[in-house]
Amino acid sequence: MRVSRVSARNTSRLACDGSGAVVRNQENHSLCTFRTGKQYNCDLSASYNIGARYFIREFLKPLPETERSSLEAKVPAVKRRTSCVYADLRKLYVEVNNLKAA
């Protein structure tokens, strides 16, 4: 069995849609409001972000340094994985597909 560790720091504090920090609901602490006004479950948003950090690493790890730096230039948020969110993974996926198509 393979185990992979992912830093869970700030995963529930950051919105999975890439809009930034969330505001927790005072009455129900498991709900949060994104800057876009959307209400969401904090744990679900955090799980998206944790999964995104894992897959970002798995996308970038096998690539040669030139391709990796090219992708990091197009999606600068993936350079620092402790602040990556699900929206960054979606952007990276689009850029990886564009790179393969070219």
Domain boundaries, the chain: 23-101
**How far is 30 from 100, CA to CA, in rounded Å?**
40
Q: What is the pLDDT of residue 90?
A: 95
Here the contacts of 38-43 (C-beta below 8 Å, separation 24 or greater) are 40/15, 40/16, 42/12, 43/12
Dihedrals phi, psi of 32, to nearest 5 degrees: -140, 160
What is the predicted pLDDT for the residue at 26? 92
pLDDT digits (tens, 9 = 90+) for 15-68: 999 999 999 999 998 999 999 999 999 999 999 999 999 999 998 999 899 999
The DSSP output letter for 32 is E
Q: Catalogue the E-assigned strands of 6-97.
A: 23-24, 31-33, 39-41
Question: According to the model, what pLDDT value does residue 99 have?
Answer: 83
Tell whether the model's pLDDT for residue 102 goes beyond 80: no
| 8 Å CB contact between 24 and 6 | no
Task: Look up the pTM and report it.
Answer: 0.88
